[in-house]
Amino acid sequence: MLSPRVRNIKPSPTLAMDAKAKGMKAQGIDVVNFGVGEPDFDTPDNIKNAAIKAINDGFTKYTPVGGIDPLKDAILAKLKTDNGLTYERDQIVVSCGAKHTLYNIAQALYGPGDEVIIPAPYWVSYPDQVLLNDATPVIVQTREEDHFMLKPEALAAAITPKTKAIILNSPSNPTGFAYDRAALAAIAALAVKHDFYIVSDEIYEKLVYDGVQHVSIASVSPEAQERTIVVNGLSKSHAMTGWRIGYAAGPKDIIKAMTNIQSQSTSNPTSIAQKAAVEALTGPQDFVGVMRAEFDKRRTYLVDALNAIPGITCTKPNGAFYAFPKVSALYGKKAGDRVIKGSLDLALYLLEEANVALVHGEAFGNDNYIRLSYATSMENLRKGVERIAAAVAQLS
Ligand SMILES: *Cc1c(COP(=O)(O)O)cnc(C)c1O
């Protein structure tokens, strides 16, 4: 008999959709994949070469559990330069990807009786990581007209004496919107007043558009920094998803607890990947700008093309690499004897009939939307949008 803990959770629905699309591809079906959550760029050569050098130098043994000092120092410098945040080395822990970082935070902070506020739409792993630690996710809806930023009134209504933390993600996966400073300051003020932690997932920090400046909620006030655990990593900024490097910066006691948890579970992140991460953070940064500019172009194309499809509307997002269009106007429509009752039905219809893979909004806590990743070529975007338009036109 499995533990009660695992009976509560489900596999990541984004990875499940991706697996289904890949399965069809393996059968020779030409699937356009808008489901992916990773950059379609190769890791830059200078970073690869740093890893190759690490191997050739024999840097292939255990390292300190929470990461090597040169990497912690590179992270400290990055937080100072990019975010205006000052930390000490013992306030940093490096883990096997930001997802692992978030999991360690969940283990260190949440327990039975705790409530953790999660604004929806949310990244799929947040609620399940809370459940895995026997705490209760408290989902609070946000609105497209607010660019999916959590309003202080909505947050205030969800706070109870059991509130342990809030998990924020800016820029957001799946909505593609970044929070502005005022919205973050209002949330931080409530966290200070009601004494709960802020977990701030900033993995898409480098991907912002239209002149938007990324703001870390930890930087809005010293009181905010004291109760924030900043989460970041290299997967999205430097196209390093497979290398598995993420990190946290936060209060010493929490970082120490996370390091202890890691010492009893994974030990250190891969030695070679750590060397690559030092190069990613301290080497030339041109790549980030090139990738960002390409995503920006695709974003404009995709959002305009989606808005041209009757029944689909999409407010132009300003971050990450996702479009999150509203599709609920299509619900109730039919194709043959197939009725589109919600976002999963629509996603399955588009996958099976149009061979376009994307993720149903229900997986992110809002059934009125679907998520399309534009981390794919312009050619694929054109082909995929044409297919979606044709398939939607078949609905009546
Ligand atoms: C991709 C992603 C992560 C995880 O990144 P890894 O470092 O590869 O584990 C975390 N949060 C969000 C919102 C993401 O989209």
Q: Which of 316, 228, 242, 308 is nearest to 276 (CA)?
A: 242
Cα 125 to ligand 1 centroid, rounded to whole Å: 9
85, part of any domain: yes
CA distances from 200 to 167, 179, 322 (A): 6, 11, 19
Q: In terms of domains, do 334 and 213 share one?
A: no
241 close to ligand 1 (CB < 6 Angstrom): yes
In angstroms, the CA 346 to CA 284 distance is 43
The number of beta carbons lying within 10 Å of the beta carbon of residue 197 is 22
Indicate if 80 and 31 belong to the same structural domain: no
Unique residue bearing structure tokens 């090139």: 290
For ligand 1, the distance from its centroid to the CA atom of residue 171, given in whole angstroms, is 12
Q: How far is the CA of 319 from the centre of ligand 1 (A)?
A: 14
Give which of 84, 77, 76, 78 is closest to 215, Cα–Cα: 84
Mutate which of 235, 244, 247, 295 to test ligand 1's pocket (most atoms within 8 Å of Cβ)?
A: 235
In which residue are the tokens 């971050």 written?
319
Ligand 1 pocket member 246 (CB < 6 A):
yes
How many A from CA of 328 to the centre of ligand 1?
A: 27
Question: How much distance in Å is there from the Cα of 338 to the middle of ligand 1?
Answer: 35
Tell me whether residue 114 is in a domain: yes
Which atom, in ligand 1's list, is nearest to the CA of 245?
7
Tell me how far apart the alpha carbons of residues 283 and 73 are, in angstroms, rounded to a whole number.
14
Total domain count for the chain?
A: 2
Ligand 1 atom, smallest distance to 320 CA:
15
Query: Coil, strand, or helix at residue 319?
Result: strand
Q: Domain boundary at 282, 303, 328, which?
A: 282
Mutate which of 75, 93, 96, 123 for ligand 1? The one with the most ligand atoms within 8 Å of its CB, which is 123
235 lines ligand 1 (CB under 6 A): yes
Nearest protein CA to atom 13 of ligand 1, as residue: 173
Domain boundary among the residues 282, 301, 318 is at 282
The per-residue pLDDT for 36 is 83
Closest CA to 124 of 373, 365, 371: 365
Give per-residue burial for 6-29: e unless 16+ CB within 10 Å, then b.
Answer: eeeeeebbbeebbebbeebeeeee
Q: Which of 249, 282, 315 is the last residue of a domain?
A: 282
Residue 47 lies in a domain: no
Tokens in use for 266? 């994974």
Phi-psi region of 134 (alpha: psi -120 to 50; beta: other; left: phi over 0): left
Both 137 and 228 in one domain: the answer is yes
Say if residue 270 is in the same domain as residue 366: no
Domain annotation covers residue 64: yes
Q: Is residue 55 part of a domain?
A: no
| Sign of the CA dihedral running 360, 373, 7, 127 | negative
For 244, 283, 291, 345, the CA distances from 286, given in Å and listed in that order, are: 22, 9, 9, 41
Local confidence pLDDT in tens for the 396 residues of the chain: 888 888 877 777 777 778 888 899 999 999 999 998 899 999 999 999 999 999 999 999 999 999 999 999 999 999 999 999 999 999 999 999 999 999 999 999 999 999 999 999 999 999 999 999 999 999 999 999 999 999 999 999 999 999 999 999 999 999 999 999 999 999 999 999 999 999 999 999 999 999 999 999 999 999 999 999 999 999 999 999 999 999 999 999 999 999 999 999 999 999 999 999 999 999 999 999 999 999 999 999 999 999 999 999 999 999 999 999 999 999 999 999 999 999 999 999 999 999 999 999 999 999 999 999 999 999 999 999 999 999 999 999
CATH number, domain containing residue 188: 3.40.640.10
For residue 215, how far is its CA from the centre of ligand 1 (angstroms)?
18
State whether the beta carbon of 97 lies less than 6 angstroms from ligand 1. yes
Determine whether the shortest distance from the Cβ of 384 to ligand 1 is under 6 A.
Answer: no
What spacing in Å lies between the alpha carbon of 351 and ligand 1's midpoint?
24
pLDDT for the residue numbered 13:
73
Please check whether residues 213 and 304 belong to one and the same domain. Answer: no
Per-residue buried b or exposed e for 271-304, using 16+ beta carbons within 10 Å of the residue's own CB: bbbbbbbbbbbebeeebbeebeebbbebbeebbe
Angle between helices 286-307 and 378-393 (to 10 degrees): 20
Q: Say whether both 194 and 179 belong to one domain.
A: yes
Here the CATH number for the domain that contains residue 386 is 3.90.1150.10
Centre of ligand 1 from the C-alpha of residue 330, in Å: 30
Q: How far is CA 113 from CA 116, 133, 186, 251, in A?
A: 10, 10, 26, 22
Q: Are residues 18 and 96 in the same domain?
A: no
Are both 272 and 309 inside the same structural domain? no
What's the rounded Cα separation, in Å, for the pair 248 and 120?
23
On whether both 148 and 92 belong to a single domain, the answer is yes
237 lines ligand 1 (CB under 6 A): no
Residue 345 covered by a domain: yes
Atom of ligand 1 nearest to the CA of 241: 8
Residue-range definition of the domain harbouring residue 359: 4-42+287-393
Query: How far is it, in rounded angstroms, from Cα 217 to Cα 91?
Result: 17
pTM of the model: 0.97
Q: Which three-class secondary structure state does DSSP give residue 334?
A: strand
Q: Which atom of ligand 1 is nearest to the CA of 100?
A: 9
Residues 6 or more apart whose CB falls under 8 angstroms from that of 338 comprise: 345, 349
Q: Residue 53: inside a domain, yes or no?
A: no
Determine if the peptide bond prior to 325 is cis (ω within 30°). Answer: no
Residues 66 and 197 in one domain: yes
Distance 103 CA to ligand 1 centre (A): 11
Quick check: CB of 123 below 6 Å from ligand 1? Answer: yes
* One domain for residues 358 and 241: no
Question: Residue 357 pairs with which residues in a beta bridge?
Answer: 33
The answer to whether residue 51 is domain-embedded is no
**pLDDT for res 9:** 79
Does 83 share its domain with 229? yes
Nearest to 186, CA basis, from 222, 149, 214: 149
With beta carbons less than 8 A apart as the criterion, state whether 376 and 21 touch.
Answer: no
Query: Does the C-beta of 169 come closer than 6 Å to ligand 1?
Result: yes
Mutate to test the pocket of ligand 1, among 102, 125, 236, 373 (most ligand atoms within 8 A of CB): 236
The answer to whether residues 308 and 335 touch, using CB atoms and an 8 Å cutoff, is no
Compute, in angstroms, the gap from residue 203 CA to the centroid of ligand 1.
6
Q: Which of 213, 142, 143, 158 is nearest to 182 (CA)?
A: 213
